Amino acid sequence: MNKSDLIDAMAADAGITKAAAKAALESLTDNVTKTLKKGGKVALVGWGTWSISKRAARSGRNPQTGKTIQIKAKNVVKFKAGAGFSDAVN
């Protein structure tokens, strides 16, 4: 399922227009992004939690040349599925 498929499904399930479903989806993604950018976390009970984890700088290897390279530190997004969500898909 891609973004437009999700918008279509949301509109059909909620009985709203595709424009309203698109606005709702974009609002969700924007607000999750803003919260994570500020260092917070987003928890939807029964579905899951998004959080930021810091990945330290490390050495890597370019497989084509065999040279060692330095990989910069960065923040990565983590998602931990909630119990209800996990149970629903298993």
**pLDDT tens digits for 59-72?**
999 999 999 999 99
* High-pLDDT (> 70) share of the chain, %: 100
Joined tokens for residue 64: 């084509």
Which DSSP category does 72 fall into? Answer: P
pLDDT of the residue at 18: 97
pTM: 0.79
Please report, for the chain, the start and end positions of each structural domain, with discontinuous segments joined by +: 1-38, 39-90
Closest to 58 in 3D by CA, of 48, 46, 68, 45? 68
Calculate Rg over the CA atoms of the chain: 18
Strands 42-44 and 68-71: unpaired
**What residues contact 35, with CB distance under 8 A and at least 6 apart?**
41, 42
Q: 39-90: what CATH class?
A: few secondary structures
Average pLDDT of the chain to the nearest whole number = 96
**pLDDT tens digits for 18-42?**
999 999 999 999 999 999 999 999 9
